[in-house]
Structure 1
């Protein structure tokens, strides 16, 4: 499976870039799935719903299905967070998986950067970052794209993964 990531510090524009890339790349006829890493506790379920009640009763996995979608929730219950490679293995085959986060993993990435955040660049210390998408010009040893130039960033990613 072809995998390419989008990384950056908080408020760098990662999620917006991911959304635009999915729209652009699927618009070209490719199938895309996404993986998003969350650094905090999150819940896609709601208190009082049957699936929530199943989970809180102790179920390890709860599969919720309808004619429109399925959702599989897996409670870790103290087990360590699975590595990205294990999560990718659970996805159905697609042309490209875009990963938001997982900045320390070895897959190729583009770094989103906004100058206003004042955060340092990750790229100078990370050879897995193949390009930057920034709202300000940068002088680096790899391509730098305008953060809003989704077409050029998509072209770069697709070329990098051989699509």
Structure 2
């Protein structure tokens, strides 16, 4: 089952954070409830796309009791619960986790810097344009100054 990025963000938002495996399991549960096939490759691709588009943020540095990367709602997301998702917390055994907001912000900033450098280095005008839009979303999402990076992207 292939959920749009905002619905993937809605599932993550329901729990606060999920590992990739937990999000894939949640998609599998939703597919089962809908009576459709859960294509693992499609789910993986949808999660990757949501991370690439900043609907989800992968956070490695966190205070949760796991060594796994956690996914949290990103700056461009408008989380929407897919049909049947409200039952997921009753179906899945996901522990409560404490994630530092500072760690999430740092993960977004670091990822954005890397993406911006690669887009400029590769002279990828489409990615530069997408990142310019994301920079405004990041500023609206959290008090993060993006002017310097945005100026470098504008130069391309």
TM-score, normalization by structure 2: 0.28
More contact order relative to length (CA 8 Å, sep ≥ 6): 1
Structure number with bigger Rg: 1
TM-score, normalised on structure 1?
0.27
Q: Which has the higher strand share?
A: 1
